Structure 1
Amino acid sequence: MRNFLVSSLILGSSLVALNTNAAGTDSTTFQVKITVNESCKFTNAQDVNFDAIDRSTGKQNTATGQLDITCTLGTPYKIALNGNGKMSNASNSGSTIAYNLFQDAQYSQAWDKSNTLANTGSGNSQALTVYAKLTGENNVEAGNYLDTVTATVTY
């Protein structure tokens, strides 16, 4: 019985050794990939609201609004603003008040469909101030005046 146990142990050990030597290995490689596309999205638009004025004051009133945009990091973009340049009376569209939009607080850089604001995306939301200034006669019919401006980003 003792010889049988010793023989069994020796035979079992050699089988284990045989299996270890007989096992093969193989390897390969693969890549992890992604494509990041450039993109720009407006995330918010704050209206330009002029303070109420009295008729015939001749006051050159100014106001600001804001556009929030998020563009991928390093993406160059341009924003054009397209409006009428005149706010129309809600009750009488023939009565208008002229205005201009600007890129800067000094009101020296126009911002419209031809004069675009150029910038580069940071990957985070960027707040862009829209500066506005009344430019014409404001001795007009009393009422609420409005113009709709379309902001378009090209990247």
Structure 2
Amino acid sequence: MCHPSHYMGHFMKKVIVSAVLGFSSLFTVAHAAGTDSTQFEVKLTVNESCKFTAAQDVEFASVDRSTKSASNAKGQLNVTCTLNTPYKIALAGNGKMSNTNTASTSKIPYKLYQDSTRTTEWDAVNLLSKTGNGKDQAIPVYAKLAGDTNVEAGNYVDTVVATVTY
């Protein structure tokens, strides 16, 4: 048989342990009662940009040099500009295709245009103006032979530099 004081002592130990644990819980809550807050911003700068993504050559169909007929051709530039970014494209070429045979001095003049009716010229002075939509934009380049094709037979070429300014 257990002695009542032993039972009472055991009971008292439990009460003391519970009281200590309960007191430490109160102590912890008292330290967590203060708060502080601050603010910060999430930031991003989006720079305007324009990049050429592709260029398709303007290639005239072969002509018989005796026909002297005007010929049309079309190429394409692709450009991607940020949304609502105004931009201009300049085209700088010689305006004349040279025979790829370096011994030849023959040239064939041509003009580039902004429109399919070939009325609005496109060069380093007459620029194409557009506004970016944030996506790839296909820009047709229209061309027309502007002179006599009664020249030496051969392949003719001119390099045009397209520059986008935004």
TM-score under structure 1 length normalisation: 0.96
> Following the alignment from structure 1 to structure 2, what is the Cα–Cα distance between the partners of residues 93 and 12?
103
Q: Distance in 2 between matches of 1:8 and 1:40?
A: 74
Structure 1 residue matching 2:25: 3-state secondary structure: helix
Cα distance in 2 for residues equivalent to 1:86 and 1:93? 14
1:28 aligns with one of 17, 34, 38 = 38
Identical amino acids, percent of aligned pairs: 56
Q: Distance in 2 between matches of 1:44 and 1:33?
A: 32
Bigger radius of gyration: 2
1:15 aligned partner:
24
Normalising by the residue count of structure 2, what TM-score does the alignment of the two structures yield? 0.90
User: How far apart are the structure 2 equivalents of 1:19 and 1:65?
Assistant: 76
Deviations 1:60-89 (A, max 9, x none): 110000001111111100000011111011
Residue type of the alignment partner of 2:75:
G
Q: Secondary structure at the match of 1:12?
A: helix
Task: Quote how far apart the aligned CAs of 1:141 are.
Answer: 0.7
**Which of 18, 22, 38 in structure 1 is aligned with 2:48?**
38
SS at match of 1:58: coil
Q: Which segment is superposed worse, 113-122 or 3-12?
A: 3-12
CA separation in 1, counterparts of 2:64 and 2:114? Answer: 27
How far residue 11 of structure 1 moved from its aligned partner, in angstroms, is 2.2
1:32-111 superposed matches below 5 A:
32-91=42-101, 92-111=103-122
Question: 2:156 matched to 1:145?
Answer: yes
**Structure 1: which 5+ runs fail to align?**
none
Query: Any gaps of 5 or more consecutive residues in structure 2?
Result: 1-9
